[in-house]
Each structure stands twice: as structure tokens, then as C-alpha cells.
Amino acid sequence: MNTPELLTCQEVLHLTGIRSRTTIWRRIQTGKFPSPVDLGAGRIRWRASDISEWISGLPLRRY
């Protein structure tokens, strides 16, 4: 069985370059960022594969 890696909010902030938790939650509400999974007891994590797909899907900036 292949278990997905789960990321904390701090790890997601570091990987994406997003500067605040508020920005993440606003983007989740508008459907522009992957939703986390709830592990219970107040623990929220994101699947690493979801974050990787989101990053890969970002448009390239062309000059």
C-alpha cells in the first residue's frame, strides 16, 4: 500500500511561497487551492500529491 505524504500548513507555506495561512484559506474557499484532510483532534494536513499537482498547474509567466 502506498501511503501519501501529508504536509503541515507550515510546510505548504514553504513549498508554495504563499506568505500567510489566511491566503491559503481564502484560496480554498474560492476553489483556487487544494482542500486539506482533517485527521481529527484539530490536525489538518494536505496531501503532498495535491500540492504538487497545484504547483504543476500554475501558468507559466512568459516575458
The per-residue pLDDT for range 3-52, each reduced to its tens digit, is 579 999 999 999 999 999 999 999 999 999 999 999 999 999 999 999 99
Task: Give the span between the Cα atoms of 48 and 28, in whole angstroms.
Answer: 16
**pLDDT at residue number 57:** 95
Task: Give the mean pLDDT of 55-63.
Answer: 92
Contact between residue 56 and residue 15 where contact means Cβ atoms under 8 Å apart: no
3-state class (DSSP) for residue 44: strand
Contact between residue 6 and residue 46 where contact means Cβ atoms under 8 Å apart: yes
Q: What is the pTM of this model?
A: 0.86
Between 54 and 63, the higher pLDDT residue: 54
- Nearest Cα to 13, choosing from 27, 31, 29? 27
**pLDDT at residue number 2:** 63
